[in-house]
Structure 1
């Protein structure tokens, strides 16, 4: 298998795991769904660690809200985590899950 073929297969697997893409040939779809679910929960925990003020503001609602956001808008395989977190904050504010921040708070919730 050439490097280009291997890179294409790896990208296909990442899309299946991180962005709800179709399972690549040779992979069990049900196992990929389980692994994708685990990775999404892990990403939520990492985001909570990276943005503790956001996790604190949401409390126990953080996990369910992140799962809702992530199911409607999965992270792209090439997307930076910080940009994805910013989009989550925007979604939370637009949905009324967080109050519209005062000036200065936006920069603390959205760090680049």
Structure 2
């Protein structure tokens, strides 16, 4: 297999796991869905670890809200976790799940 073919197949697999893309040839679709769910939950836990103030503010709603956000906007493989977390915060504020931050709070959240 050429490097180009390998890179294409890896990209297809990442698309299936991270962005609800179609399963690549030779992969079981149901197993990919399970693995994708595991990866998304893991990413939610990492985000909660990186932004404990966010997880604390949302409490028990964190997992459910992150899953909803992630379903509509999966993390891209080239995207920094911090930038993705910032988008999640913005999404939460826009939908009223978090209060609009006082001046300066949003910038402090972004720096973390």
Whether the TM-score (by the shorter chain) exceeds 0.5 is yes
Length, aligned pairs only = 112
- The answer (yes or no) to whether the contact 1:19–1:77 under 8 Å persists in 2 is no
- 1:22-101 to 2 correspondences below 5 Å: 22-101=22-101
Deviation at 1:50, TM superposition (A): 0.6
Residues 89, 110 of structure 1: 8 Å contact kept: no
SS in 2 for 1:110: helix
Matches of 1:26 and 1:72, distance apart in 2 = 26
> How far does the alpha carbon of each residue in 1:72-108 deviate from its partner, in whole angstroms, 9 at most, with x for none?
1111222221111111000000000000000121022
Two-structure CA RMSD over aligned residues (Å): 1.1
1:111 equivalent in alignment to 2:81:
no
Q: Distance in 2 between matches of 1:78 and 1:17?
A: 14
**Cross-structure match for 2:102:** 102
Larger RCO (CA within 8 A; separation ≥ 6): 1
Q: Deviations over 1:41-85 (max 9, x none)?
A: 000000000111111111111010001111111112222211111
- 5+ residue gaps, structure 2, are none
